[in-house]
Amino acid sequence: MSEKLQTLIIEDEELARNLLRSYLKDQPDIEIIGECENGFDGVKAINDLKPDMVFLDIQMPKITGFEMLELIDHKPHIIFTTAYDQFALKAFELNAVDYLLKPFSKDRMLAAIEKVKHHIQNHETNDEKLEELTNLRPGEGFIDRVVVKDRHKIHIITVDKIRYIESLDDYVMIYTTDGRHMKQKTMKYFETNLDPKNFIRIHRSYIVQVDNIAEIQQYEKEAYIVILKDSAKTKLKISKSGYKNIKEVLHF
């Protein structure tokens, strides 16, 4: 390889960054093009700098390494680093992505870099693996929040702010108390990862937050709609199986 490997470090702890830097210092074919202290900066840096390789910490303030994966347009080769996270490890093993367990040795890190170089030489990408990884999360219970990116701004939506979700082919539109956000995820993902006590799949195209339902109206024989609690009184169709789901959650 003639060119140096453009490397980005995303790690919230200074000491951990120092260690990585000192390990990489004497590697002639590696160039550190940036360091980020949190996930927000990390997403921006990956999209702007388009690194070849990223050392990515999982547990970080604001947004986690996993959530970052959902927001990046450019998919570099990623070496995950984590101290202790059973769910992350399970996800890594299922997807055979490389990861470093802190504290790790220099040799272990170099072995991981060798693998990345090998992938690059063979023009292998790990886009699919990363995609699967984001769908595997959260592992532990239901999700608390959803991260979305509109143009250049990242929003963190805590699930209590979600009013309803509408399916748009490969995307979903998430309607929140302050607006709406598009995200590349499936309805299936939200159906399985949002707490079913609070979110009901009422239709192939809709998932509704229970507290946001104002009333359920019958407009034809065996055809119902929900009316939401907003000023526009949004009306959403209910399918047959959706009606069953609503009945189950609301006990009527």
Partner 1 sequence: MKHPLTNNYRLLGYYALFWFVIGVINIVLQVIWYNVPLIYSLLDTGTNYVLYPLLGSSIWYSIRYNSLEEVTIGRLIIFHFIAASILCGIWVSISYAIFQPFITKEKHFLKDGLPPKILGGYVMYAIYLVFFYAVNYYESLKEKIKKEGEYKSLIREAELQALKSQINPHFLFNSLNSISSLTVSNPEKAQEMVINLSTFMRYSLMHNEKEMVSFSRELENIKLYLSIEKVRFGKKLNAEFEIDSHCLEAEIPNMILQPLFENAIKYGVYETTEQVTIKSTCECDGNVLKITIVNDYDASTIKRRGEGIGLRNIRKRMEIIYNQPDLMKITDHKTSFEVQLIIPQKQALS
Q: Which residues bind partner 1 (CB under 8 A)?
A: 13-16, 18-19, 22, 37-38, 59, 61-63, 83-85, 101-103, 144-145, 156, 158-160
SS3 track for the chain: CCCCEEEEEECCCHHHHHHHHHHHCCCCCEEEEEEECCHHHHHHHHHHHCCCEEEEECCCCCCCHHHHHCCCCCCCEEEEEECCCHHHHHHHHHHCCCEEECCCCHHHHHHHHHHHHHHHHCCCCCHHHHHHHHHHCCCCCCCCEEEEEECCEEEEEEHHHEEEEEEECCEEEEEECCEEEEECCCHHHHHHHCCCCCEEEEECCEEEEHHHEEEEEEEECCEEEEEECCCCCCEEEECHHHHHHHHHHHCC
- Find the shortest distance in angstroms from Cβ 239 to partner 1: 30
Least distance to partner 1, CB of residue 118, Å: 26
Q: Which is nearer to partner 1, 38 or 234 (CB)?
A: 38
Question: Least distance (Å) from partner 1 to the CB of residue 110?
Answer: 16
Minimal distance, residue 176 CB to partner 1, in Å: 12
CB of 120 to partner 1, least distance (A): 27
Minimum Å gap between C-beta 54 and partner 1 is: 18
Q: Which of residues 28 and 141 has its CB atom nearest to partner 1 in the complex? A: 141
Of residues 159 and 228, the one with the C-beta less far from partner 1: 159
Of the two residues 64 and 167, which places its CB atom closer to partner 1 in the complex? 64
Nearest to partner 1 of 53, 60 (CB atom): 60
- 148: exposed, middle or buried (C-beta count within 10 Å: 0-12, 13-18, 19+)? buried
Closer CB to partner 1, 21 or 74, in the complex: 21
